[in-house]
Chain A
């Protein structure tokens, strides 16, 4: 029994090393000077921050970071608001066209994003949306998945609760914000976190719709930087990767309870 426990911990520790080593090596390389990067020291002999200064000065990482942040935040707010609202309306109101609307939205879940990229690209060039913030974020403003998820949770709110608020003279918007949303708060938080993550890491669509260097998002910027300007300069590539990775890891560690319970909550539905 004791030995079994020890072996379990050993296996988990070994696995943890595999999970963490790439990050350790990434940060380690980013702190080495160019002549030292092929040394096998995990803690560099001479720690230097010159790579960070160089990357921040010579490329647009700060701008790309900001772009990603703006796009992920705006998209997340939009998805959180509209998906919750539509999910609420479909769950709690009967009106002409409700069934059709729900089936239409569900059917969009079957269509992979890859299939829409060509028409989106043509739309964007026709309307002049290429190379704008709007062009990057318009496809993600609402999601069928979010509507479906929020509808599931909204359905569990008792009708009496909403009707009581109506009798009290609350208008429908107030009821939505003050009565309905607090009831589905955990699901809304989970939806928001995953929307943010997805948009922060989005690669395919931003790669297509962005042309100018200044508008790139962090993943697109990092990809061009690593294969272009910094080609084979691994100390710089690892510095860029660290800039892209570390903030998200920190945010994750802060929010990990919510993120992990969010997966269970939305995944087990």
Chain B
């Protein structure tokens, strides 16, 4: 860009070209600032200022139902939260959702991609089938899972038929969270599969041939060629997957948990569901804002951590 303007300055000898350039420059600036007007307003007014505002609300006693001043109370909201058993539970659950959910997604995504990579017929057909859940409405599919897994639903019918005892699934505080995680993996694995399939196709065939000449077993080929070369995809998928999980978990939990609010016994409660309850059921905006700030710091730390750990491991 700089070279360009320098070289064109030299050409700018005759006044005619000078005028033309001046006109172009004026047009350029007019274009740039006209076009940026609305986007700047949007990003400032709808993204940046509200973010700062949330920090502010988090330091205040701010109940929507109370009128008058919203007194500054320092870290009081944060103190309340870390002593709040439900909040702690929801934070731990969120961690379980992310750790199991993301690793499950990555695992099944890689497995399906590897299987598809081995065959040469019907690849497109299977790819479509495995991807379909990703494009379907989470709300709708959550209710379908409730129906399939209910007390006298089809899965329990089948369990009884083969002589096993029926399971409470979503009604059990021990099972519900894993069922929801399973549903989330089911829905997202197609997305990961597509990414890994592309990653696999980018690995040069000669690397495998070279490994074969060296006498590598299939397992060694996988572990020493495929995994390191897929690593950028794994990092990307893990980061995207974690952030998605935090957000998507709200929809799944509201629509799949037995009471619609993270039950039974808060066993499926996530931080986002709890924030929603604090803000829009109890109208305690101060406490809810403090919780979103903690979520923000958590996501930030998690992202940095994942980038560090996952990129270091196979640094060649």
Residues of A within 8 A of B (CB): 4-5, 8-9, 11-12, 15-16, 18-20, 22-23, 25-26, 29, 38, 40, 82, 85-86, 89, 93-95, 101, 104-105, 107-108, 110-123, 138-139, 141-142, 144, 147, 159, 163, 166, 171-173, 197, 200-201, 203-204, 207-208, 218-220, 222-223, 226-227, 234, 237-238, 240-242, 244-245, 248-249, 251-253, 256, 259-260, 263-264, 267-268
Contact assessment for B296 and A82 in the assembled complex, using a CB-CB cutoff below 8 Å: no
One of B28-36, B77-85, B95-103, B172-180 contacting the partner = B28-36
Interchain CA distance A218-B147 in the complex, whole Å:
19
Minimal Cβ-Cβ distance residue in B for A17: B129
Contact assessment for A172 and B28 in the assembled complex, using a CB-CB cutoff below 8 Å: yes
Contact assessment for A144 and B112 in the assembled complex, using a CB-CB cutoff below 8 Å: no
Per a CB cutoff under 8 Å, which of A114, A123, A197, A241 touches B140? A241
Additional 19 contacts, C-beta under 8 A, given A119-B49, A249-B136: A22-B145, A40-B157, A94-B1, A107-B48, A112-B296, A112-B299, A114-B292, A116-B46, A117-B275, A172-B28, A203-B138, A203-B254, A222-B137, A223-B139, A240-B143, A244-B140, A249-B135, A268-B195, A268-B199
Name the 3 nearest CB pairs between A and B, nearest first: A119-B50, A172-B31, A241-B140
One of B115-123, B220-228, B307-315 contacting the partner = B115-123
Interchain CA distance A146-B28 in the complex, whole Å:
23
Per a CB cutoff under 8 Å, which of A22, A111, A144, A259 touches B144? A22
Interface of A is mostly: helix
- With contacts A120-B50, A227-B260 taken as known, whether A5 is within 8 angstroms of B119 at the C-beta atoms is yes
Contact assessment for B54 and A115 in the assembled complex, using a CB-CB cutoff below 8 Å: yes
Minimum CB–CB distance for B17 against chain A, Å: 10
Per a CB cutoff under 8 Å, which of A25, A204, A226, A241 touches B251? A204
Contact assessment for A118 and B279 in the assembled complex, using a CB-CB cutoff below 8 Å: yes
Note all chain B residues with C-beta closer than 8 A to A223: 139, 254-255
Per a CB cutoff under 8 Å, which of A19, A89, A107, A142 touches B132? A19
Interface of B is mostly: helix
Note all chain A residues with C-beta closer than 8 A to B132: 19-20, 23, 249, 252
Contact assessment for A138 and B46 in the assembled complex, using a CB-CB cutoff below 8 Å: yes
Minimal Cβ-Cβ distance residue in B for A175: B31
Interchain CA distance A111-B128 in the complex, whole Å:
33
Query: Is B300 in the interface zone, CB < 8 Å from A?
Result: yes
Interchain CA distance A123-B50 in the complex, whole Å:
9
Query: Is B38 in the interface zone, CB < 8 Å from A?
Result: yes
Contact assessment for B53 and A222 in the assembled complex, using a CB-CB cutoff below 8 Å: no
Minimal Cβ-Cβ distance residue in B for A208: B280
Note all chain A residues with C-beta closer than 8 A to B27: 171-172
Note all chain A residues with C-beta closer than 8 A to B233: 267-268
Residues of B within 8 A of A (CB): 1, 4, 24, 27-33, 35-36, 38-40, 42-44, 46-51, 53-54, 57, 112, 115-116, 118-119, 122, 126-133, 135-141, 143-145, 147-148, 150, 152, 154, 157, 186, 190-191, 194-195, 198-199, 202, 233, 236, 240, 243, 246-247, 250-251, 254-255, 260, 272, 275-276, 279-280, 285, 288-289, 292-293, 295-296, 299-300, 303
Of the A-B pairs whose beta carbons lie under 8 Å apart in the complex, a sample of 6, sorted by A's number, is: A12-B112, A16-B126, A111-B296, A142-B39, A220-B139, A268-B199
Contact assessment for A112 and B129 in the assembled complex, using a CB-CB cutoff below 8 Å: no
Per a CB cutoff under 8 Å, which of A38, A89, A113 touches B36? A89
Interchain CA distance A119-B143 in the complex, whole Å:
31
Minimal Cβ-Cβ distance residue in B for A255: B135
Contact assessment for A11 and B115 in the assembled complex, using a CB-CB cutoff below 8 Å: yes
- With contacts A144-B47, A197-B135 taken as known, whether A101 is within 8 angstroms of B36 at the C-beta atoms is yes
